[in-house]
């Protein structure tokens, strides 16, 4: 009997209504996050990684689309498991920013430019924890100290534009953690930052997770960042998870041609070849990322895949077990090393 | 050693801000005394964090931003102060590729017009030749000839970047400033564009000033690298030497911060605290000293000169000789 996971997504399908018809952005995703664990979702534009996280938070406006099928089982603080896909909007408001928080890529557009950062952090505590104004402000200062912002008392009293990008992302994290969430969803939180600041933020998130014990769903396109922060990884392409594994399994034995292509796309210098005077080239994946409006038949990756055979063009591959805890949606996963 | 095609000497680009009738205002020292050279056939990488001045430097060597002081020579000819007509002629040999493939193409022009405009401006060929040339260029960057009749919005980010590259190549330049041309692209598309740059470089013998912040891309593409911090050169060396044997604490910190796609690697790292200081009031002495874990009192006294520490390797750090920064 294993413990109930913090988040258990089962068969999630998310659709959007557009002028040209229904677009299925997420086509049956299964994903779990345990308490204290970091699960990375890796993918390129149009892979459905952000839509998956927005679906968990139920942040897709009804007018444009929403969850069409599947369950989003979340174990709340009270120990009760609820299906967020079915929860009424009013109940979701008690979950968002409280039990599940989210941070985004661009901290400047996610913060209110006309409100002091202290008040923005205090808002969640006021709303969800019934603190007084004074208590909530103190909580905000405490949170700023937690995310290692120097002179937190003074900084609580400034506006977002008076801070650097790295500082603003720390404020976002402070805001997200103000109510001690059980789950933090981080959607490309370091993509807009310089590498030196990215490292600071990743180290901060690691430290806070150790101290607070929250689960993290980390959305990214950067496999280097995945290697730094994740315990488990799900690789998404065309709205499906094409490979999922522990971080060491994935890097040791990537078992989907797309994962292999992504790894080969990362520039790594072959020093021996360089000394021979060769102009190095990368083993790039040909073609463009899949357009969710016009998905191919069969495996979504087949038009770009060097391993594709007839079957890949007609049948969607099921998940094959490469190892315990390691799955691949590729008919030919066992031949890739041959 | 090949001769220098582009030579930048003590270049400064200062922007006045907040100047009013009553207040003299302040000066942003975006580029503050940079010297570097790009040799024929060479790719020189320019790295640094946002605010380091790398984009301003790239634009000022093409005089898209006017330098405040210093000298830029291209193929032996001084560019600062050159009259507009002559500068225009020179621009047919110096081109630029931009970061954002969405913002840098006019949405109302067809791809053929976008690429053909450069030919028109520089009076290259006649109408019929131009159409032929545009088709050739599209093929060269891996797009179908028919793409000329279509508009930018019909293309993906990677394809648009190919169009931007074709436009830069249209006038047969020998030097290109590439300002973060792969930063906005998906990983798999980034690899395609990197390969395209490698191919073109080989086929056309191009020299490039490649501006970037991704150290792995810079290492992959560049022969030599210049590390910029707050408008000043911290270190410059061949790519192989810089990555294996960094001599400036800032270079080491940048290398350490780059995430490595290997979960088993847990390195000893120099983590920088805080952010880049304001270029309006840079620190006295060494501009990096406020974030440097090795800073001593002397670092505040004078601006450290860029000193040669090996063949093709210079560093601006007074402690370079005593620090061992190799992993």
Rounded to a whole number, what is the distance in Å from the CA of B155 to chain A's nearest CA?
A: 10
- Calculate mean pLDDT across residues A208-232: 93
- Asked if A124 and A4 sit in the same domain, the reply is no
Q: A236 near A47, Cβ under 8 Å?
A: yes
Q: What pLDDT was estimated at residue A1?
A: 43
CATH number, position A322: 3.40.50.300
ipTM: 0.86
Rounded to a whole number, what is the distance in Å from the CA of B261 to chain A's nearest CA?
A: 4
Q: Would you call B263 and A227 a contact, using CB atoms and an 8 Å cutoff?
A: yes
Q: Which residues contact A327 (CB under 8 A, 6 or more apart)?
A: A241, A243, A244, A245, A319, A320, A321
- Calculate mean pLDDT across residues B249-271: 86
Rounded to a whole number, what is the distance in Å from the CA of A80 to chain B's nearest CA?
A: 34
Rounded to a whole number, what is the distance in Å from the CA of A81 to chain B's nearest CA?
A: 33
Quick: pLDDT tens for B163-178: 999 999 999 999 999 9
- Asked if A267 and A135 sit in the same domain, the reply is no
Quick: pLDDT tens for B29-44: 999 999 999 999 999 9
The stretches of B101-156 forming alpha helices (DSSP H) are: 111-121, 127-140
Interchain contact A165–B (C-beta under 8 A): yes
Best to test chain A binding among B191, B252, B266, B278 (most A CBs inside 10 Å):
B191
Q: Would you call B187 and A264 a contact, using CB atoms and an 8 Å cutoff?
A: no
Hunting for tokens 């370079």 — which residue is that? B320
- Asked if A196 and A300 sit in the same domain, the reply is yes
State the greatest distance between any 2 C-alpha atoms of chain B, in Å, as a whole number: 68
Interchain contact A265–B (C-beta under 8 A): yes
CATH ID of B4-84+179-186+206-315, from 3.40.50.300, 3.40.50.2300, 2.30.42.10, 3.60.150.10? 3.40.50.300
Q: Would you call B259 and A224 a contact, using CB atoms and an 8 Å cutoff?
A: yes
How many structural domains is chain A composed of? 2
Q: Would you call B261 and A223 a contact, using CB atoms and an 8 Å cutoff?
A: yes
Q: What is the Cα–Cα distance from B316 to A288, expressed in whole angstroms?
A: 43
The SS3 assignment for B31 reads: strand
Q: Would you call B221 and A267 a contact, using CB atoms and an 8 Å cutoff?
A: yes
- Asked if A10 and A152 sit in the same domain, the reply is no
Query: Is residue A237 pLDDT above 60, yes or no?
Result: yes
- Asked if A159 and A242 sit in the same domain, the reply is no
Q: B191 near A284, Cβ under 8 Å?
A: yes
Interchain contact A206–B (C-beta under 8 A): no
Domain boundaries of chain B, sorted by first residue: 4-84+179-186+206-315
Quick: pLDDT tens for A105-151: 877 788 999 999 999 999 988 888 889 999 999 999 999 999 988 88
- Could you tell me what percent of chain A has a pLDDT over 90? 70
Best to test chain A binding among B52, B180, B211, B261 (most A CBs inside 10 Å):
B261
| DSSP state at residue B151 | -
The SS3 assignment for A296 reads: coil
A283-310 core/surface letters (b: 16 or more CB in 10 A; e: else): ebbeebbbebeebbebbbbbbbbebbee
Q: What pLDDT was estimated at residue A279?
A: 76
- Asked if A31 and A155 sit in the same domain, the reply is no
Query: Is residue B183 pLDDT above 80, yes or no?
Result: yes
- Of A178, A195, A220, the residue that ends a domain is A178
- Of A158, A178, A198, the residue that ends a domain is A178
Q: What pLDDT was estimated at residue A2?
A: 59
- Asked if A212 and A80 sit in the same domain, the reply is yes
Query: Is residue B298 pLDDT above 80, yes or no?
Result: yes
- Asked if A328 and A245 sit in the same domain, the reply is yes
Judging contacts by C-beta atoms under 8 Å, the chain A residues touching residue B50 are 165, 194
> Looking at chain A from residue 10 to 49, which residues have their Cβ under 8 Å from any Cβ of chain B?
44-45
Quick: pLDDT tens for A256-299: 999 999 999 998 877 777 777 777 889 889 988 888 888 999 99
- Of A178, A200, A224, the residue that ends a domain is A178
Rounded to a whole number, what is the distance in Å from the CA of A261 to chain B's nearest CA?
A: 7
- Could you tell me what percent of chain B has a pLDDT over 90? 72
Q: Would you call A268 and B220 a contact, using CB atoms and an 8 Å cutoff?
A: yes
Lowest mean pLDDT among A60-74, B100-114, B254-268: B254-268
pLDDT confidence bin for B327, thresholds 50/70/90: low
- Structural domain including A131 reads 107-178
B176: part of which helix (H) or strand (E)?
Answer: strand B175-179
Judging contacts by C-beta atoms under 8 Å, the chain B residues touching residue A224 are 216, 258-261
The SS3 assignment for A85 reads: coil
Q: What pLDDT was estimated at residue B167?
A: 94
- Asked if A31 and A3 sit in the same domain, the reply is yes
Best to test chain B binding among A196, A225, A235, A300 (most B CBs inside 10 Å):
A196
Nearest to A248 among B259, B263, B274 (CB): B263
Q: A250 near A243, Cβ under 8 Å?
A: yes
Nearest to B260 among A44, A167, A227 (CB): A227
pLDDT confidence bin for A338, thresholds 50/70/90: low
CA nearest A45 in B: which residue? B186
Nearest to B213 among A194, A202, A289 (CB): A194
B143-169 core/surface letters (b: 16 or more CB in 10 A; e: else): beeebbebbbeebbbbbbbbbbbbbbb
pLDDT confidence bin for B142, thresholds 50/70/90: very high
Lowest mean pLDDT among A216-225, A324-333, B202-211, B255-264: B255-264
Output phi, psi for A11, to 5 deg. Answer: 55, 35
Average pLDDT, chain B: 92
- Asked if A297 and A264 sit in the same domain, the reply is yes
Query: Is residue B267 pLDDT above 80, yes or no?
Result: no
Q: What pLDDT was estimated at residue B110?
A: 95
Q: What pLDDT was estimated at residue B83?
A: 94
């Amino acid at each position: 009997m294993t413990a109930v996971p913090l988040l258990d997504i089962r068969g999630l399908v998310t659709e959007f209504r557009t002028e040209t018809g229904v677009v299925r952005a997420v086509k049956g995703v299964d994903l779990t996050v345990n308490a204290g664990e970091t699960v990375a979702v890796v993918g390129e534009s149009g892979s459905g990684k952000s839509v998956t996280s927005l679906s968990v938070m139920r942040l897709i406006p009804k007018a444009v689309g929403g969850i069409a099928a599947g369950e989003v089982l979340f174990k709340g603080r009270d120990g009760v498991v609820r299906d967020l896909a079915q929860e009424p909007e009013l109940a979701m408001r008690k979950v968002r920013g409280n039990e599940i928080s989210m941070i985004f890529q661009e901290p400047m557009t996610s913060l209110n430019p006309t409100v002091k950062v202290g008040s923005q952090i205090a808002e969640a505590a006021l709303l969800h924890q019934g603190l007084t104004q004074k208590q909530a402000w103190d909580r905000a200062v405490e949170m700023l100290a937690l995310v290692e912002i120097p002179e937190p008392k003074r900084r609580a009293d400034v506006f977002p534009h008076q801070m650097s990008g790295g500082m603003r992302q720390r404020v976002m994290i402070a805001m997200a953690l103000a109510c001690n969430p059980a789950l933090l969803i981080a959607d490309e939180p370091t993509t807009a930052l310089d590498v030196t600041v990215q490292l600071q933020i990743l180290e901060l998130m690691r430290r806070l997770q150790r101290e607070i014990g929250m689960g993290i769903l980390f959305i990214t396109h950067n496999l280097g960042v995945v290697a730094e922060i994740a315990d488990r990884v799900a690789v998404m392409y065309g709205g499906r998870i094409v490979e999922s594994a522990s971080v060491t399994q994935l890097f040791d034995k990537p078992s989907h041609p797309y994962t292999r292509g992504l790894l080969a796309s990362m520039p790594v210098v072959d020093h021996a070849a360089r000394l021979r005077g060769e102009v190095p080239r990368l083993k790039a994946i040909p073609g463009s990322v899949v357009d969710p409006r016009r998905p191919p038949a069969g495996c979504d990756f087949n038009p770009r895949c060097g391993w594709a055979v007839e079957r890949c063009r007609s049948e969607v591959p099921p998940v094959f077990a490469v190892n315990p805890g390691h799955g691949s949606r590729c008919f030919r996963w066992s031949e890739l090393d041959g | 050693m090949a001769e220098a095609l582009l030579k930048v000497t003590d270049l400064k680009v200062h922007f006045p801000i907040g100047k009013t009738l009553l207040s003299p205002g302040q000066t942003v020292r975006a580029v503050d005394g940079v010297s570097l050279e790009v040799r024929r056939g060479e790719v020189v990488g320019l790295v640094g964090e946002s605010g380091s001045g790398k984009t301003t430097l790239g634009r000022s060597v093409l005089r898209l931003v006017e330098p405040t002081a210093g000298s830029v020579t291209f193929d032996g000819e001084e560019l600062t102060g050159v009259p507009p007509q002559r500068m225009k002629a020179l621009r047919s040999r110096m081109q630029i590729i931009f970061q954002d493939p969405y913002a840098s193409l006019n949405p109302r022009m067809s791809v053929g017009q976008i690429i053909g405009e450069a030919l028109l401006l520089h009076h290259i060929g006649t109408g019929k030749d131009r159409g032929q040339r545009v088709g050739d260029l599209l093929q060269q960057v891996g797009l179908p000839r028919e793409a000329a009749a279509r508009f930018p919005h019909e293309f993906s980010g990677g394809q648009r970047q190919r169009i931007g590259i074709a436009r830069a190549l249209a006038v047969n330049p020998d030097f290109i400033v590439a300002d973060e041309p792969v930063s906005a692209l998906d990983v798999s598309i980034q690899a395609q564009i990197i390969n395209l740059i490698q191919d073109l470089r080989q086929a056309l013998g191009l020299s490039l000033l490649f501006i970037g912040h991704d150290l792995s891309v810079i290492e992959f593409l560049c022969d030599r690298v210049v590390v910029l911090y707050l408008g000043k050169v911290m270190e410059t060396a061949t790519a192989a030497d810089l990555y294996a044997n960094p001599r400036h604490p800032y270079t080491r910190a940048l290398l350490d911060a780059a995430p490595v796609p290997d979960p088993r690697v847990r390195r000893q790292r120099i983590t920088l605290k805080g952010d880049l200081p304001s270029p309006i009031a840079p620190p006295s002495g060494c501009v990096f000293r406020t974030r440097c874990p090795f800073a001593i009192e002397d670092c505040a006294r004078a601006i450290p000169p860029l000193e040669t520490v090996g063949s093709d390797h210079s560093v601006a750090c007074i402690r370079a000789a005593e620090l061992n920064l190799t992993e």
